[in-house]
Structure 1
């Protein structure tokens, strides 16, 4: 923390000591270059960000470019009380928001929505963000609008629409580790004002940065990860808009590069040393049709989506090698490998009717249907030669779990906003979710069924005591469906996670909107808090529940235009989680798993005019993460760490060149850490975080 103190002090000092007239020298506060004036669709209708009674952070396309945001992890780094960690295979991720966290093979705690389509699986959240118009991050349960997975919040991604005029862009970044990250796109009209198109693509390759000390190579390599996206918008009439979207992603990269931490200390940072290399490969096909029809009194919207996801992962099972650990798995004298083959096909359909916004009574109603077919085969095998291909030899298999899971879910939702007075609005929302799950043991053909459902009300009272001031109080509920563990797991079924959230917050702007101060205090009471561990005896990844968890928190956000073209921001998050009830009596009173009690994120950015249409950019960011409590027993605690990113460049109108560095201080941390009681192994294991990297980026648009 001391290494980055100068940065935090500089940002806070500049915000508090510059004279107030310096804050009034920026451009027109109503201009689109003011980040506080972003228009969002967080509640499925167009609203000014500061008038939405939810803690929302929004990034427009300019802010996304200035910060060099290219992934979900980059976007979440801009807000407090949220984190994005890597673990398991290449596409796995762990989003934690307001004390609620992601689990393997379970629904995420945050609704991730791209162009109106919820991404209902863990692997579809940590994706490349390219050709994006806006990112909205909502905190707190948003079930009445975003569904059962929005227990911790929602991330709403809006990609750029096709344009009437011919335009395009390309972007190329080259950085340490022979890393290449490129994207390009073009847009225009097939028939002016009637039929518009947009195509975009992104590609990434890297030799990696995290060294395997036994093999001598880099475990986090990316052989290829590319995506093609196409959009076609038809406007046959003023009332009708048809938006068709297709996307294909294919990848092959390293994964499961855990380190064996023999000391058991989560602050002992060691390289991976497994003999069997990790590999993740797969593809995603995504097709979406969105239709909007203006009925004058309301807009009718239909969103249909089909997604086909395939993933294959191979890696070391004992996380060691036969040279430095000849005892092998549990000292039994042999090495293990592991692998998963996952296939998922999803069809979803949403229909909603949204009233006009220019009236005191505003409403929306809708329905949602989800059909998921998922198959998962998990295998452990004896490792004789360090090659992943051994998994295909039946004689080598140690454990073989093969399951099929079908999920049929539907939901009905609605929300009403009524202006009791011109400055007092009451909002009521209600959602009902019903999940029907069927699991088939493909080894024995045994079948089991379960149903999970929940009614989720939400009530908000918002008061505007003056211009650019909003005070609100809200009560909301959340629901994350239960489900089945592997057929032979000792915990066959895990319960639904439900919660009640009580929140009071405010949004204010001062000095002609040059200074924004937003904040909230909340208490979330969680029943059946879901957590994850691995059971070695069955070879199964287990989801289980903690009876009751209370989470209390505070959030404060400041954004200031300090002078012409000089902006600063600071966000602070505090989380106090407490296990109130558990089958393990020793855990009662402890913090919930993966909890970070204190976190901050801040930035300082200057964009000077260098003459004509030439503009400079100097930006520095600091993210501070406090202590992290990995398990429910609170034994493994990771010390605080800091991530400092910097960006410096020049934009010559349509062309820009930038230098950047990530994790400038090269702070070490684990993105995931398991004790033996949770890893199912006889050792502690940690997933190393990304080390320092630096590079150059070039952009061009036309």
Structure 2
């Protein structure tokens, strides 16, 4: 099926769904996601960070909230783009795995059954797959980035924070937005949604879809072509049944497919000599090399293919004393990563990784109404997850100096092949409760706690040469290994006036332990399970309006971070261990200024001082003394800066609109700055400071209500900076982020 045909199919499906009701011409904005916060003004941002609808400025949590209009203006198309407008947040890739970092807390692993310690939720549903967290956002109405441990209300591995994505809900008022865009690199993108009634006051539907097709950014110096580019498709539908004024059910489903040839189209990025180049030099073999950041020279065609689908049922019951809600969800994610393990054109080692992820989630939540001066929330959480290698294949082409050294275009048969079949079966249980009380009309305190209990059971099997799977998997003789933790939170908030408040919070974060499925207990000594990470966090903050049209949010934080889980990749093996304690402190904030009619200025900044307090036996890759790849060595990293924790990040934007007789003209400019970050503990691979600039010019003609024409550009200064890193004894490799892109877009909303 060609890309153009698929565009027509998706556009036709969305247009067909639009016929479910009468077009509401003249509506100038999409309705707010949560209109039930009684005290909210029309311009107020409403968030659900505490499992209830509240004004953003009343919530004692550091939150960056992005509305639908902000997402469109900023050109945010997927979860990776969120970091461009959120200080203190990094969204790097570990190969093909998304590993969010908030205030320096980030995962450093990608094993079976493991998940990020920044939790991502879509419509209240937890997303446990690190690859499945790469989500397109055609119908997202609001993004809430919760900074700091969320180990009470969002407990599953939310030690660093949570990212909450809320899509367009089925509505009894017909609304919709559609857009079509074309840019350089033959970049086509069609996306949109429609929401409206099927049966008046009883049944409503929302349908969203997106299609993206782009040529590759990176030049293949071996063939003269480019990587295979990006092809991405998503369709999501939700059906609302309003049984009564107090009872409703929403049934949803989605399917997505994302094929990206650029994520592993990288090159050596560290000091020293990659093993492939060293071996080639030893025999006098001249091997072409990547000669700029947007090029690569690999002996395989890299690929990341992610296919996912799922179904969910959300229920809601409103009573006089509170709201009961349920979440029932099933998801399936299949990932295939094809990568050159040595990042060179030498035939040394290739990886063909296949991961299957099945998960089922059940939640029951309750949020009370105001009981006099008190509020109460409680909930139960259950997740059943199985993730497996099917298989993880490593093909090796070199075994000793007696073996011939070959390079592209020669492609010999592998001298050996290792297939790893394994699984990790996880069961997670949790219960939480939070009690809040107004001591006075201005002073509020709350106490909360969550108890988490998790079991993991693993098995694996290795086969070689033939590629045939063994008859059975070797189960871990320990059977189910369990982890448990109680994580409390205490908050005090004082309302200075109706528009501003100060708060102080103590909380704990928890990232579950881990059982290495690749230990092959039948053939080697068992490795002890990795114990949970723990975060003890203190935060004080201010939220308020300094003057009409000026709002400010400020927070200062201090984290004691213990039992960090670290990960070492040694193809074809990988292993985890607890090896560090860290201390993180800093300050962040944002300001919004409505400077004049049509003119809005926003800015945010984050300062993070994150260092390993005790890390005496860090395992790192250092260049081999004889110039042959990298040695795994021990290093005392105590006192060093944490990886993926830039010291200073900032963003600023200007949005201006003016209306003339012909229509409305708009200008949007956004910049963000990063002071630089280490991609590994030894700081062998470091991204230096960089700044990015995005922008767009728009025109909405007066004669066509809802139409907007846009000229857009991203990374206008064409800055090269690392987006992905993967280190091994072969190479310190990585790939760079998108170069300058630009194009035209037509939008229509109603």
Q: What TM-score does the superposition give when structure 2 sets the normalisation length?
A: 0.82
SS state at 1:50 partner: helix
Partner of residue 599 from structure 2, selected from 542, 547, 566: 566
Match of 1:495 in 2: 531
Match of 2:574 in 1: 541
Matched residue SS, 2:95 = coil
Residues 85, 68 of structure 1: alpha-carbon distance in 2 compared, 3 angstrom cutoff: same
Distance 1:126 1:31 in 2: 34
1:656 is matched with 708
Q: CA RMSD in A?
A: 2.4
Counterparts of 1:327-366 in structure 2, within 5 Å, are: 334-357=347-370, 359-366=372-379
Q: Distance in 1 between matches of 2:642 and 2:719?
A: 25
By how many angstroms is 1:63 displaced? Answer: 1.9
C-alpha spacing 1:616/1:321, structure 2 compared with 1 (3 Å)? same
Query: 2:658 matched to which residue of 1?
Result: 608
Q: Decide whether aligned partners of structure 1 residues 480 and 428 sit closer, same or farther in structure 2, where only a CA change above 3 A counts.
A: same
* The one of 685, 694, 702 aligned to 2:742: 694
Residue pair 1:346, 1:371 contacting (<8 A) in 2 also: yes
1:471 paired residue among 502, 521, 537: 502
Residue range with higher mean Cα deviation, 298-307 or 157-166: 157-166
Mapped partners of 2:565, 2:181: distance in 1: 39
Determine which of 567, 582, 586 is the counterpart of 1:532: 567
Distance of aligned partners of 1:459 and 1:673 in 2 relative to their CA distance in 1, 3 Å threshold: same
What's 2:723 paired with?
671
**Structure 1: distance between partners of 2:740 and 2:455:** 46
Preserved contact between residue 208 and residue 221 of structure 1 (Cα < 8 Å): yes
User: Mean Cα displacement is larger for which, 549-558 or 184-193?
Assistant: 184-193
How is 1:346-495 mapped onto 2 (pairs within 5 angstroms)?
A: 346-357=359-370, 359-376=372-389, 377-382=391-396, 397-443=416-462, 444-447=473-476, 448=478, 449-488=480-519, 493-495=529-531
SS in 2 for 1:275: coil
Distance of aligned partners of 1:493 and 1:651 in 2 relative to their CA distance in 1, 3 Å threshold: farther
Which residues of 2 match residues 239-250 of structure 1 at below 5 A? 239-250=246-257
Q: 1:298 to 1:441 in 2, by over 3 A?
A: same
SS where residue 592 of structure 1 aligns? Answer: coil
SS of equivalent residue, structure 1 residue 350: strand
After superposition, residues 238-387 of structure 1 pair within 5 angstroms as 238-254=245-261, 255-261=263-269, 263-264=271-272, 269=293, 271-322=295-346, 334-357=347-370, 359-376=372-389, 377-382=391-396
Tell me if 1:592 matches 2:645: no
Give the ranges of 4+ consecutive aligned residues of structure 1 lying more than 6 Å apart after TM superposition. Answer: 265-268, 384-390
Give the Å deviation of 1:300: 1.0
> Where does residue 583 of structure 2 map in the other structure?
550
| In 2: Cα distance, 1:389 partner to 1:300 partner | 61
Does the residue aligned with 1:493 lie in a helix, a strand or coil? coil
Q: Aligned residue pairs: how many?
A: 646
The partner residue of 1:188 within 196, 200, 224 is 196
Cα gap change, 1:467 to 1:540, in 2 (>3 Å): same
How has the CA–CA distance of structure 1 residues 139 and 528 changed in structure 2, closer, same or farther, with 3 Å as cutoff? same
Deviations 1:648-688 (A, max 9, x none): 111233111101111111111112345xxxx2234332221
Match of 1:629 in 2: 678
Residue matched to 1:95: 100
Show CA shifts across 1:233-282 (max 9, x none): 00111110101110011232213222123645999847321121112223
Report the alpha carbon displacement of residue 187 of structure 1 after superposing the two structures with TM: 2.6
Match of 2:136 among 128, 133, 137: 128
Q: More displaced, 149-158 or 632-641?
A: 632-641
Worse-superposed segment, 45-54 or 94-103: 94-103
Pair 1:380–1:283, CA change in 2 (3 A): same
Q: Which runs of 5+ in 1 are unaligned?
A: 1-28, 323-333
